[in-house]
Amino acid sequence: MATLQEFLDLNLRVGKIIAVDDHELARKPMYKLTVDLGPEVGQRTLVAGVKEFYSKEQLLGRKIVVVANLEPKKIAGIESQGMLLVADFGDGIAILSPDKDVPEGTMVH
CA geometry: angle 87, 17, 99, nearest 5 deg: 50
- Are 67 and 12 within 8 A, CB to CB? yes
Q: Quick one: pLDDT at residue 27?
A: 87
3-state helix, strand, coil in the chain (%, to 5): 10, 40, 50
Per-residue pLDDT tens digits for 37-72: 999 999 999 999 999 999 999 999 999 999 999 999
**d(C-alpha 34, C-alpha 93), whole Å:** 20
**d(C-alpha 100, C-alpha 2), whole Å:** 28
